[in-house]
Amino acid sequence: MKFQSVDIGKAASAATIIFRALRKSIIEGDLSDGDPLRQDEIARAFNTSRIPVREAITMLEQQGLVKAVRYKGAVVACLSMQEADEIFDFRCLLEPEVIRAAVPKMTPEILNTARGHLEQFAAAQDPMEYGNLNRLFHSTLYAASEMPYHISVIENSMDRIDRHLRAQLVMTDGIERSNQEHLEILSACEIGDAEKAAQLTYTHIHDAMVSLQEQLQSSK
């Protein structure tokens, strides 16, 4: 299994550290759909007992990233077409509302930070950077909404589909298109047009949904 191990034998937050390491590996695609999470192997890698490993896996299950399979134990959860549709439909409802609330509160500092993430996204060469910079761009804009619960729900939804979106960006024309859509969203925010920003955000998410549907369908 591919994940960055850390010697945390006596750390009080062992379960949290393991959870974060495994979550990162799942989101970034180092652990693929259906990969088993072997507790003994993980415990050895982190120099700890199986107890915090079980706790970490339980947290991953709660986020929908891992599921228990009979006779196999915990494995990385696969994303079905139905689940992808539901997640994107939810994001299409929630994220336009968040950015609509955020636009009137955006400061020049927030907009400059978002533009910096956009420019990094456009210049990125490593496919693993695309997902991180995409999320940084959106989260920077959403943070101005002062709606932390909504944002946490969005983050959890992104966790569930992020590794698939990264692949979709690389395997299609998604990078160029996404960059252009990001620029349009940011431009609407910079002129203070909350309704346009919300509409563009909806279109951005919907287009990503269609592209991912095509990718998942072709991989069957």
Q: Encode pLDDT of 42-98 as tens digits.
A: 999 999 999 999 999 999 988 888 988 888 899 998 877 888 889 999 999 999 999
Whether 11 shows a pLDDT value over 50: the answer reads: no
Q: How confident is the model at residue 156 (pLDDT cuts 50, 70, 90)?
A: confident
Q: How confident is the model at residue 8 (pLDDT cuts 50, 70, 90)?
A: low
Beta bridge partners of 74: 68
Domains defined along the chain, listed by start: 14-76 (1.10.10.10), 81-218 (1.20.120.530)
Q: How confident is the model at residue 4 (pLDDT cuts 50, 70, 90)?
A: low
Handedness of CA 51, 158, 101, 130 (dihedral sign): positive
pTM confidence score? 0.75
Of these ranges, 22-31, 66-75, 149-158, 195-204, the one predicted with the greatest mean pLDDT is 195-204
Give pLDDT, residue 81: 80
Choice between 73 and 12, residue whose per-residue pLDDT is larger: 73
